[in-house]
Amino acid sequence: MSRLSKDSNKYFFDSIYIEEDALNYPITKNIIEKYNASNFIVIKHYKDVFNRLNQNFSVQKQNQSLILAVKNKPFIYRGPDVCQNFGYSNFYYTSFLLNCIFDCEYCYLQGMYPSSNIVAFVNIEDFKSEIKHTVSKETAFLAASYDTDLIAFHSIIPYMDYFYDFFKDLPNLLVEVRTKSANDIFYKTHKPIDNIIIAFTLSPHEIIKKYEKHTPSLDVRIKAVKAAISRGFKVRICLDPIFIGDDVDSFYEPFYNYLFSQINPDDILDIGYGFFRMSKDFFKRIEKIRFDSLLFCENYSLKDDVLSYPDNLQEKIMEKHYKILTKYVDRNKIFSL
Amino acid sequence: MVFIVTALMLEAAPLIEHYKLKKDMNINNYPVYKNDDITLIVSGIGKIKSAMAAVYILSTFKCKKEDILINIGFCGATSFKYNLGEPIIINKVKDMDTGRDYYPDVYCGKNIKKGTLYCSSKPMFKEDYIDNNDTFIDMESSGIMEASQKFLYAHNTVILKIISDFLNPEDLDKEILKSYIKRNLTSIDEIIDELKNLNHSLRNPFEDEEKAVNILCEKLNFTEAMKKMLFKEVRKSKLKGLEPLSILNEFCNIEVKIKKEGKRVFEQIIERLK
């Protein structure tokens, strides 16, 4: 089912749930005006809808609803060990949005949330206060687009517009915005600032086709990377998740060579590199939902409650990949877990 | 299976006729009418009766989460902007006694208006309703929601209400009420088709394999853990384009007397599936 409405280029939500407390926020008012053909349902608390029993993640994904809510504390969280901190010990993440408009087969959100509807928090000033408070004590690295894709959501709620000036005034804060989106409007309408990194997740096109449903193609993503670079933004390339297997191993060498034939390696800040990995609990839940996924039938190795490929296999593949990548990028510019 | 719950026989009659349902003579507790695909139960008026009937029918017929439950019935409208006989699909049910809200996922009836429904435990008249909301009122929906959320996916419960009055539920003409249901039969057909299509993708593609694994595991005295492992390998094998059923068949006639022997056969099957 197409999520774009027929009469415009707008992403379409058939149902929009709005918390009573969220009704008077500017973001809510904008959404009500923009999506006036949707059904609006007033709710007491977003969890009354988001945490219901027996929701079907994949059916909801095809018919995503939007839930506008007011978030309570905490507004930022310590970064988890399964994520790269790029050398920053004060690593935090924040979630203005829960869930994503893309439908990647490997995505951990399927195991993390009971619903695939999108929750958008409207009380952005509260997020700003807590971020400001945290940064006042220490320099920090903040992943702002975890559990979602802010750039992909930009045409629905432009969080990046709302936070741009705020981030600009906090030099103690380094913000990473991770995306698979081809939407380049943010780069075209804003000047680059030193403490924002746009982190593009890129994969071989065979992997995109196989696992990353509804996401832009590799070439379109590369075009967005180029747009961000040409406007002077700091760009990080995330080669994450990397998959291992006889059926996929051969995709990576041509992909790396193609990538750096398109993008000047000197123009990128660094590279994040990571293998497919997932918490055991999330994996178990997804296994039940994605019963037709080969990815979730495979046997993985368990270490500290995280499932991934066995260490020796990871080392072997990593060495092979690094040999290619270091032809283009200095080894100390490649970060892995 | 499609389950339909109506409060009144007069709501059920046009549906029984349209779907050519036959009374299930084995059931005495409730009036239940069936064909191969649809089972209808007449619950009686009120949310407790509707909850009881919904649980009864869903349990008796061993429903699966992919089955569909539609509550079809009349409601009152608080606003005159609607027409009598107009259908409404409910996206929020508010129980007027407990204040609890229920939210079915609504992915059907594109051309039908959607709205909030208040569920009252007694008939509601214009003078009783003091809020100024543009809404609808019935007496069964919260019971249906309370029951169905335990059994079915959230998108598989549909509360379809047809406006019978403007909070003056007295002396309503039975024939006119029946005609309201008849007028909406096409929409009901469409709702059923839409939900069936939506649920089609949820069908377990490994149903045959699951059955075969169960039979084999019982025959060979495999433990639950072995069964789980075996089914995972069977799934993987099918997803890789192999034919695990024929491999399982090869082991169907093997007899196992001791545990050690069972383990050996188990390893052989796993190896063959790879």
Q: What is the pLDDT of residue A7?
A: 44
| Percentage above 70 pLDDT, chain B | 100
Structural domain harbouring A133: 69-336
Residues of A in contact with B213 (CB under 8 A): none
Looking at the structure, tell me whether residues B43 and B95 fall in a common domain.
yes
pLDDT in tens, A23-42: 999 999 999 999 999 999 99
Work out how many domains chain A is built from and give that number. 1
Q: Is A138:A87 a contact under the CB 8 Å cutoff?
A: no
Domain closes at, from B173, B200, B227:
B200
Q: Do A14 and B153 touch (CB under 8 A)?
A: no
User: For residue A3, what pLDDT is reported?
Assistant: 57
* Residue A151 to residues A187, A196, A200, B114, B191, Cα–Cα distance (Å): 10, 13, 10, 32, 36
What gap in Å lies between CA B19 and CA B38, rounded to an integer?
Answer: 8
Give the residue from B200, B219, B243 where a domain finishes.
B200
Task: Judge if B214 and B194 occupy the same domain.
Answer: no
CB contact under 8 A, A55 and B154: yes
The rounded distance, in Å, linking the Cα atoms of B115 and A290 is: 33
A15 within a domain of the structure (yes/no): no
**A58 and chain B: CB distance < 8 Å anywhere?**
yes
DSSP A325: H
Tell me whether residues B92 and A60 touch, CB distance under 8 A: no
The predicted pLDDT at position A11 comes to 66
Instruction: Report yes or no on A119 lying in a domain.
Output: yes
Clarify whether residues B30 and B146 are in a common domain.
yes
**A257 domain-assigned:** yes
As a whole number of angstroms, the distance between CA B183 and CA B15 comes to 11
Which of B149, B175, B200 is where one domain is finished?
B200
CATH number at residue B96: 3.40.50.1580
Q: Name the average pLDDT for chain B.
A: 94
Residues in Cβ contact with A198 at an 8 Å cutoff, skipping those fewer than 6 apart = A151, A177, A179, A187, A228, A233, A234, A235, A236
Query: Could you read off the pLDDT of B196-254 as tens digits, one per residue?
Result: 999 988 888 899 999 999 999 999 989 999 999 999 999 999 998 999 999 999 888 88
Are the beta carbons of A41 and B201 separated by less than 8 Å? no
Q: Which residues of A touch B235 (CB under 8 A)?
A: 291, 297
Domain count across chain B? 2
Range of the domain at B255: 207-273
All residue ranges of chain A with pLDDT < 70 are 1-11
**Looking at residue A4, what is its pLDDT?**
53
CATH at residue A329? 3.80.30.30
The separation between the first and the last C-alpha atoms of chain A, rounded to the nearest angstrom, is 38
Residue-level pLDDT at A8:
47
Q: With an 8 Å Cβ cutoff, are A59 and B198 in contact?
A: yes
